[in-house]
């Protein structure tokens, strides 16, 4: 099964609401009730972002998923990434970095201190409607938190099929996620990771991508480029944060049909006021009926796109702890000797 550039995909994936409620008085996505299919992307700046918005490369190196270039990116290899800055919740300054124009998929590495390492690893896929990546609150901050809990984390920059002028498809984004899983497994010894405990998590569009990977991890490689492509891309677990491929929006079909019985154990989390996640209880039941170990958390009064931000309400700001508890109870955080 392949997923191409289905018309209207942008409308489905970028219904990013400006939510205000007693429990979450925060603007978590651009103003407006929806992003229209042909709406222009906000102005961006080409080139690397200001240094203070990116992790220190000495501590958090970047690893190219395909050093010789990804298939499908041949005509874009010389093009620079672009960025823009925006304000997060309860912020008077622009403190969130948003990336677009991704043509060289990569992982940014966040490793725990060796004395605290559990051996578990998570690939983190930020959201952004498949046209950009909200990489601060749904990427770098998440990876930093995980690494301080002894979990190796890797922030994924994947190609964006709905970016302005993009020639990429959903299959290209999926190829980036599957290659990321294989890359972490291939360097498990170097990074102190158990290859049997490499999981994935995503936010919004990144969660949709993670959910697709949890169903299509064994897609046949038509043109493997090296030994990494020979490794299994099945994740040990998946955490889907306010985004799922299992249900459609606005009467549209889901991006995947059905749930396979060998779907990885799944952690679901969203806000109760988020229309994009309104069917999460149904997703929970679908997974449970398929025999998949699954846990669901819904925060009342909370909208879409909260990630990790200083202005989050007290309850939702604790969501990473719920993920940690789930991983611990599943036996995925046993420290390596």
pLDDT digits (tens, 9 = 90+) for 9-61: 433 443 432 332 323 333 344 322 233 445 567 899 999 999 999 999 999 99
Residue 19: the pLDDT is: 31
Low-confidence ranges of the chain (pLDDT < 50): 1-37
**Class of residue 74 by CB neighbours under 10 A (exposed 0-12, middle 13-18, buried 19+):** exposed
Residue 52 lies in a domain: no
Place of tokens 């304000």: 87
pLDDT digits (tens, 9 = 90+) for 155-191: 999 999 999 999 999 999 999 999 999 999 999 999 9
Residue 325 lies in a domain: yes
| Domain of residue 156, residue span | 19-35+42-47+58-74+81-329
Residue 244 lies in a domain: yes
Residue 175 lies in a domain: yes
Residue 117: the pLDDT is: 97
Residue 231: the pLDDT is: 97
Q: How many CB atoms lie within 10 A of CB 181?
A: 26
Residue 8 lies in a domain: no
Residue 277: the pLDDT is: 95
Helix (H, G, I), strand (E, B) or coil at 293: coil
| CA-based R_g, the chain, Å | 18
Residue 287: the pLDDT is: 98
Residue 148 lies in a domain: yes
- 4-11 long-range CB contacts below 8 Å, 24 or more apart? 4/169, 4/170, 4/171, 5/161, 5/169, 5/170, 7/37, 8/37, 8/252, 9/130, 9/161, 9/162, 9/170, 10/35, 10/37, 10/129, 10/130, 10/131, 10/162, 11/35, 11/36, 11/37, 11/250
Pair type for strands 24-25 and 45-46: unpaired
Residue 336 lies in a domain: no
Q: How many domains does the chain have?
A: 1
Residue 335: the pLDDT is: 72
Residue pair 90/311 in contact by the 8 Å Cβ criterion: yes
Residue 6: the pLDDT is: 39
Q: Domain containing 306 — which CATH number?
A: 3.40.50.1820
Residue 178 lies in a domain: yes
């Amino acid at each position: 099964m392949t997923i191409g550039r289905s018309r209207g995909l942008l409308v489905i994936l970028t219904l990013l609401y400006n939510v205000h409620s007693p429990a979450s008085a925060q603007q978590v996505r651009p103003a407006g009730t929806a992003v229209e299919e042909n709406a222009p992307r906000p102005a961006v700046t080409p080139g690397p972002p200001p240094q203070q918005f990116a992790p220190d490369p000495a501590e958090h190196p970047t690893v190219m998923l395909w050093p010789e270039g990804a298939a499908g990116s041949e005509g874009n290899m010389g093009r620079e990434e672009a960025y823009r800055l925006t304000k997060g919740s309860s912020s008077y300054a622009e403190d969130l970095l948003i990336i677009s124009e991704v043509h060289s998929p990569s992982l940014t590495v966040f490793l725990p201190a060796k004395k605290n390492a559990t051996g578990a690893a998570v690939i983190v896929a930020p959201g952004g409607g498949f046209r950009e990546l909200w990489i601060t609150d749904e990427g770098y901050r998440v990876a930093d938190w995980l690494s301080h809990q002894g979990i190796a984390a890797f922030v994924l920059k994947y190609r964006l099929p709905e970016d302005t002028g993009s020639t990429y498809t959903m299959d290209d984004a999926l190829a980036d996620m599957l290659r990321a899983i294989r890359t972490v497994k291939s360097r498990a010894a170097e990074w102190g990771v158990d290859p049997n405990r490499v999981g994935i998590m995503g936010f919004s569009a990144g969660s949709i991508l993670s959910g697709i990977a949890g169903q299509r991890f064994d897609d046949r490689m038509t043109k493997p480029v090296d030994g990494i492509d020979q490794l299994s891309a099945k994740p040990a677990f998946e955490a889907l944060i306010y985004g799922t491929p299992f249900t459609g929006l606005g009467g549209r079909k889901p991006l995947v049909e059905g749930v396979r019985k060998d779907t990885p154990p799944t952690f679901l989390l969203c806000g109760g006021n988020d229309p994009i996640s309104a069917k999460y209880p149904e997703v929970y039941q679908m997974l449970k009926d398929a025999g998949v170990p699954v846990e669901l958390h819904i925060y009342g009064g909370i909208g879409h796109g909260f990630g990790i931000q200083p202005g989050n309400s007290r309850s939702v700001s604790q969501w990473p702890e719920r993920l940690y508890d789930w991983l611990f109870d599943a036996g995925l955080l046993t420290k390596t000797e």
